[in-house]
Structure 1
Amino acid sequence: MKSILLLTDFSKSATNAIHYAMHFFQAETCVFHIMNIHKAGTFISDDLMTSPSENIYESFTKAPKKKLNALVTDLKHTYNNPNHTFEISVDFDVFTDAVNQNIKANAIDFVVMGSNGITGASEIIFGSNTLNVIRQVMCKTLVIPKGYKFKPISNFLLPLQDNDAIKKKQLDVINDFTKHFNLKLHVLRVCNKNEVKQTVSSDQKKLSTFDCKYSVEEDVTFYQAVTAYLKSNSIDMTGLIVHDKSFIKRFFTESPTIELSKIIKSPLMIFHTRNN
């Protein structure tokens, strides 16, 4: 059984990502933990006066719990999947702290959340909460662009930068993911011309037992290489390996003239070098 954490602020983007997850994990036996996170400071004194008989926590959580229960009712009615069960929670904490606590408490396998899907700075594209989860939450995270509707997935792209000296354990996690969901793995290596021979030799040794399409791009930016590959190949999902908190920021801000929306028109699966 898989444990999936679905994050929602009740926006259209978050709800769309949850519906995507229902399709993506349709054949899996799953418990979906649907969580809404608030800062306690966002509530005003009137919230505490709604019912004098309730304690502070009950007063804070009453409205979001009602929305979460309505969402679960809708999901059960819409999908009627006997393999899916649901748990709801409301938390008041720093966003990523609340996510990490839930992951630990419920042995979460995947986090699923929506992005804003707007071109511009990286924080605007993803939303600050999504970007912080990508940077600071060491769990496989599926990011669904705003308005993206589920369609059958066949091809999965894993682009690798110069500094992506991937260990076998990380590749095994990615290979297990693509095999489990019956996806064709594409590996795109982007590297400097003077390092091609050594890098390709190392990659081919590590990938010798993998069923994948391997390609190399020399002396272009990582973003340019990925964008070009997506234009010339039918890719349904892109995977990114995050080595540190600054990676995503560097990736999406290396050139302000690039059409950032090209990358996020399809879902992103975020892997980390730790705890995957």
Structure 2
Amino acid sequence: MTRTPRISFEFFPPQTLDASFRLWETVQALAPMQPEFVSVTYGAGGTTRKLTHDAVETIHRHYGLNVAAHLTCVDATKLETLEIASAYLAAGVTEIVALRGDAPKGAARWEPHPQGFASSVELVDTLARTGRFNIRVGAYPERHPDAAANIDWLKRKIDAGASSAITQFFFEADTFFRFRDACAAAGISAPIIPGILPIVSWDGARKFALRCGTTVPKKLDEAFTRAIADGREELYALAHATQLCDRLIEGGVEDLHFYTLNRPQMTREVVRALGIQPPVALEKVA
């Protein structure tokens, strides 16, 4: 029997009024699916730090969801970073996704702040020593552009105090299984949660994958090209995402993390296809 997985969602903070409406529509659409947690990202280079904080607090306070706030090492001193973490704690948010973060816009490569955390390992270690947070980290089933040894680096983050890892998205279940097996062989016992990208636009997803270093299988590219020509892109995207999740679940995966891109419809349809439905409120009998 196929097990029903635990699910979680990623949102990003809005930078315009229209984007703000889209975020809250997304939260309202997906909150009834009762996710284990939802995460809220930082923009590249930490550009949405204040927006992220506001979104995290609002989602936690008004929707009652368990929110994991992204926290990075970019363009901030250690003191500033820990002040942000303390503000989350004061708001009742105890989940952190601790990341190194991307280089600021215009920078050729990532460089640590002179008074900041030198790496995500150092950030995880410092947060873990407080004993106040549940810390999740990122993981890369395929080679991260800046990581020479992804699995060794992940083990250091887990050993520093992270409780679980969420992967970058991928298009084939075997990519995740190979990575999971390699992590186990390296002595990593913490849960590795696969990140799923429900495809709203294949053109956009393909470009995103190339930027992230995610392999685009030739057969998948050809299948989407045919589906687009036949006017079946949305239907094929739903089938692909559902089949990918089914294979992961059959392979023992118990948690799935969905990158929603603040567009809820495809994510909601995939989750429903996996057998997850909002609870039905029972009417009171007089």
**What TM-score do the two structures reach when normalised by structure 1?**
0.30
- Which of the two has higher C-alpha Rg? 1
TM-score norm. by structure 2 comes to 0.29
| Structure with greater proportional strand content | 1
